Structure 1
Amino acid sequence: MAGKIALNKSSLNKEKRSLKTFNQYLPALELKRLQLMAERKKAEKALEEAKLRIEQIEGDIAAQLPMLACEDIVLEDLVKVTNIVLGEQNIVGTTVPMLERVDVEVTPYSFLVRPHWVDFLVEKLKEMTELHIERQVRELRYKEISAATKTTSQRVNLFSKVLIPQTRQNIAKIKIFLSDQDRAGVVNAKISKSKMDAAAAAAAAERG
């Protein structure tokens, strides 16, 4: 839409076609924006749920295993991630990651060396490890959907606030110019006719 436009009928028809296309595309674009906003809200809620669950597990461990702070027992590497399987999901035209599976391996340990409560700790650590990965994937999903929402919103604004108004202005400008040209043509035609009539009358008077 940048630059000067030609003030003629061909340009007028071109602008009208553009306006029709913009008006047809805008509702679909606005619908996509609303759908993405709804999906972004879902992704945000899912992310918050994962964070809350992690906090709950950490709270359970702190409440039920206060001895962790003072027991001289090696607890490192009790669990480790051995495999992560990610898939893809198409959400309103945006591809986002989805977690399909997390394989967590428990390091073998002797019941004689470590107390009974280590079993509880291992289960909680395993669950929390899986949740941490889930949280990371949900963060990626939220970021991807947020970026798509922002881009779509920018396009909606481009169409509704720039392209469509500018095209309407162009159409109005061309119509005014063509209308002025038509009026000028009529005036010029009348003037020419008056001059011709006057010349004809003068010629007739000379002959008479």
Structure 2
Amino acid sequence: MSKLTLSKSGLQRERESLKLYRKVLPSLDLKRQQLLGEHKKAEREYQELLASFEPYAREVAERVPMLASPGIDLSQYISLKDYQKGEENIVGVKVPSLDSLEFELVDYAYLGTPHWFDHAIEALKQFTELKIRAQIAGERVDALYKAARKITQRVNLFDKILIPRAEANIKKIQIHLADAERSAVVQSKLAKAKSHRITEALKGGGV
């Protein structure tokens, strides 16, 4: 931190800084509120995705109960080949989004598989997509949380440190300038009185 200059130019600089801080603070606080709102929304969506796992598993179990049978393993027929993430801008923060999912299916004889096999494959694909979406939703929550924390720190810096410091500096400089002005007035009066005495003494023929 630079040393405070107790002068009129220093006072002007502090006033300009205070004006700038007060101008910037409302926009920072607005962005903070927006980010907190988006973070809350992202957290709610994430929790909803997590909460959907169990109901979906029950639904699949009802539609394809054979999946619970020992020895049923569909991983040899289907696997997640790749998925692509995109980016979404939320209040100036880049957060991930799901662009595409690509599965790799092994050719199998349709006539040689049970009637429920296709439903099971589709259920596995949907469940995998649900897990990926939940993963990305968690990443969105983290990104928005970090951004909200960072902007909150900036708001606190302006509100609790920079603005109070500038106000205190202005007050300190004003007091110093007022004291200096009073001192100058007193010195001027003393010098004038002394000059008057000297003048009177000279007129009287002595010092």
TM-score between both structures, scaled by the size of structure 2: 0.90
- Counterpart of 1:54? 53
Cα 1:71/1:113, change in 2 over 3 Å = farther
Query: Which stretch of the first structure deviates more once superposed, 197-206 or 54-63?
Result: 54-63
> Post-superposition shift, 1:64?
4.7
- Counterpart of 2:90? 91
Q: Distance in 2 between matches of 1:24 and 1:150?
A: 21
- Counterpart of 1:194? 193
Query: Which stretch of the first structure deviates more once superposed, 100-109 or 41-50?
Result: 100-109
Say whether residues 1:32 and 2:31 are aligned partners: yes
TM-score between both structures, scaled by the size of structure 1: 0.90
- Counterpart of 2:80? 81
Q: Distance in 2 between matches of 1:174 and 1:57?
A: 68
> Secondary structure of 2:205's match?
helix
> Post-superposition shift, 1:143?
0.7
Cα 1:49/1:105, change in 2 over 3 Å = farther
> Secondary structure of 2:4's match?
coil
Q: Distance in 1 between matches of 2:76 and 2:56?
A: 18
In the alignment, structure 1 segments of 5+ residues that lack a partner are none
In the alignment, structure 2 segments of 5+ residues that lack a partner are none
Query: Which stretch of the first structure deviates more once superposed, 100-109 or 26-35?
Result: 100-109
Deviations 1:145-194 (A, max 9, x none): 11000000000000000000001101110110011000000011011111
- Counterpart of 1:184? 183
Superposition pairs of residues 15-164 of structure 1, within 5 angstroms:
15-111=14-110, 114-164=113-163
> Post-superposition shift, 1:59?
2.2
Matched-pair contact (CA < 8 Å) for 1:84–1:101: yes
Q: Distance in 1 between matches of 2:93 and 2:173?
A: 40
> Post-superposition shift, 1:15?
0.9
> Post-superposition shift, 1:142?
1.1
Runs of at least 4 residues off by over 6 Å: none
Deviations 1:122-147 (A, max 9, x none): 22111011111111111111111110
Query: Which stretch of the first structure deviates more once superposed, 107-116 or 161-170?
Result: 107-116
Query: Which stretch of the first structure deviates more once superposed, 85-94 or 27-36?
Result: 85-94
Deviations 1:87-142 (A, max 9, x none): 21111111111112212233333456543333322221110111111111111111
Matched-pair contact (CA < 8 Å) for 1:89–1:98: yes
User: C-alpha root-mean-square deviation of aligned residues, in Å?
Assistant: 1.9
Cα 1:84/1:126, change in 2 over 3 Å = same
Deviations 1:45-94 (A, max 9, x none): 22122212222222223445554444333332332222322221111111
Matched-pair contact (CA < 8 Å) for 1:104–1:130: no
Matched-pair contact (CA < 8 Å) for 1:87–1:98: yes
> Secondary structure of 2:52's match?
helix
Q: Distance in 2 between matches of 1:67 and 1:21?
A: 68
Q: Distance in 2 between matches of 1:189 and 1:71?
A: 105
Identical-pair percentage: 39
